[in-house]
Amino acid sequence: MSLRLYNTLTRSLEAFKPITPGKAGVYACGPTVYWFAHIGNFRYFIFSDLLHRVLKESGLDTTFIMNITDVGHLVGDGDDGEDKMMKAMRKEGKSAAEIAFFYTRAFVKDLLRLNILPADKYPRATEHIPEQVAMVKQLEANGFTYKTSDGIYFDTSKLPAYGKLSGQKSDEKQAGIRIDMGEKKNPTDFALWKFSPTDQQREMEWPSPWGVGFPGWHLECSAMAQKYLGVPFDIHTGGVDHIAVHHENEIAQTEGASGKLEANVWLHSEFLTVDGGKMSKSIGNVYTIQDLIDKGYDPIAYRYFCLQGHYRSILNFTWEGLTAAQNALNKLRQIVRDWSEPDPLATAVMHTTFMLDINNDLNTPGALRTMWQLVDDDSISSLEKTKWLVDYDRILGLGLADYIGKKIEIPKAVQDLVNERDQARARKDFVMSDELRMKLEGMGWVVKDTKEGTKVEK
Ligand code: AMP
Ligand code: ZN
Q: By alpha-carbon position, which residue is closest to atom 12 of ligand 1?
A: 239
DSSP code of residue 118: P
Is residue 39 predicted with pLDDT exceeding 60?
yes
Percentage of residues of the chain with pLDDT beyond 90: 68
* Phi, psi of 293, deg, nearest 5: -65, -45
User: In a 10 Å sphere around its CB, with 0-12 CB exposed, 13-18 middle and 19+ buried, how is residue 457 labelled?
Assistant: middle
Q: How far is the CA of 34 from the centre of ligand 1 (A)?
A: 13
Query: Model confidence over 103-154: pLDDT tens digits?
Result: 999 999 999 999 999 999 999 999 999 999 999 999 999 999 999 999 999 9
Ligand nearest to the CA of 30: 1
**Which range has the top average pLDDT, 40-54, 73-87, 88-102, 419-433?**
40-54
Which positions ≥6 away from 148 have C-beta within 8 Å?
182, 183, 184
Confidence category of residue 24, pLDDT binned at 50, 70, 90: very high
CB environment 440-454: b (16+ within 10 A), e (fewer): beeeebebeeeeeeb
Compare 80 and 270 and report the one with higher pLDDT: 270
Q: Whose CA is nearest to atom 18 of ligand 1?
A: 40
Is 242 touching ligand 1 by the criterion CB < 6 Å?
A: yes
Nearest CA, atom 15, ligand 1: 41
pTM of the model: 0.85
> Strand 151-154 and strand 61-66: pairing?
unpaired
How do residues 288-343 score in pLDDT, each as one tens digit?
Answer: 999 999 999 999 999 999 999 999 999 999 999 999 999 999 999 999 887 765 44
Atom of ligand 1 lying closest to residue 273 CA: 19
Q: How far does residue 402's CA lie from ligand 1's centre (Å)?
A: 30
Q: What is the mean pLDDT of the chain?
A: 90
Other beta carbons within 10 Å of 20: 12
The whole-angstrom separation of Cα 99 and Cα 102 is 5
Beta bridge partners of 273: 316
- Name the region of 21 (left: φ>0; alpha: ψ -120 to 50; beta: rest): beta
Q: What's the pLDDT tens digit per position in 160-202? A: 999 999 987 655 555 445 556 888 999 999 999 999 887 666 7
**In terms of pLDDT, which residue wins out, 403 or 85?**
403
For the stretch 356-415, pLDDT in tens is: 889 999 999 999 988 998 888 877 788 888 888 998 999 999 999 999 988 888 888 999
Under the banding of pLDDT at 50, 70 and 90, the label for residue 77 is low
Distance CA(312)–CA(300), nearest Å, equals 21
Q: With a 6 A CB cut-off, is 213 part of the ligand 1 pocket?
A: no
Taking the chain, what is the end-to-end CA distance rounded to the nearest angstrom? 40
Helix and strand element counts for the chain (H, E): 14, 14
